[in-house]
Amino acid sequence: MPVIKIINDSSEITPGKGWVSAAKFNSKDRLVDEKGRQIDSNYQGRQYRIIEKRERPFSALERFERGCLGVALVIFTLCLAIFSRSVRELFAKSSENIRFAVQVSEGNLRSPQQREPTPISPEAGDASVRLESVELSAPWDMGEEPRVLPAGWLKHLAEQNISVLYSGTEVTIPRGDNYFTYEGKVAVGWHGTYNPPGGM
């Protein structure tokens, strides 16, 4: 379970000794609960958006101590401890990390009835947004998020359910999912509800 620290805004992220911004940060803008577990569009509790991830490499002494502790646990449990993820991480992890999250405002929380996609304009600010005539396909495989975005592509988090019409097929991007745009058009490709007709 990732370590989550709830803050009010980014000004509360103070760099501690040895802590740096994480090089790998795939959970940016992810919606989670107070324990850091990812949530879906049906979740009714408090929601938090991950905005920053910091990491601190273990010192040589810390790595040695963790290795000794891991060896002791494996020996005293007759090798059973090796099946524990936390024990394996004593040997494998080279750093510790923490994620910072801010609470999503109450205005963005919706009941299940409100979450149903309805054909409204983006300015209405209701539970869903319908975008018409999106004719842009994503240059990566369905079901995969690109590791490196093509030039000019932008990554967004859907704060509402979004419905788009793509080649005559309605595609739904659920609230909380990532999506991508290029020159103002939504890229249809990476979200779980799109099944391309005819293997498109």
- Specify the pLDDT at position 147: 59
- Specify the pLDDT at position 132: 39
C-alpha 55/C-alpha 95 separation (Å) is 7
Q: Where are the domains of the chain?
A: 4-106, 110-199
Structure tokens at 190: 């990476």
**Given its phi and psi angles, is residue 94 left (phi above 0), alpha (psi -120 to 50 degrees) or beta?**
alpha
How buried is 102 (Cβ within 10 angstroms: 0-12 exposed, 13-18 middle, 19+ buried)?
A: middle
Residue by residue, pLDDT tens for the chain (200 residues) are 678 899 988 888 876 788 998 888 888 888 888 888 888 877 888 899 899 999 999 999 999 999 999 999 999 999 999 899 899 999 999 999 999 999 887 544 443 334 333 333 333 333 334 443 343 444 444 445 555 666 777 777 777 777 766 656 667 777 777 777 766 677 765 443 333 334 33
- Specify the pLDDT at position 116: 39
Does residue 54 contact residue 97 with C-beta atoms inside 8 Å? yes
C-alpha 186/C-alpha 170 separation (Å) is 13
Measured over the CA atoms of residue 49, residue 195, residue 127 and residue 35, the dihedral's sign is negative
The reply to whether the predicted model has a pTM over 0.85 is no
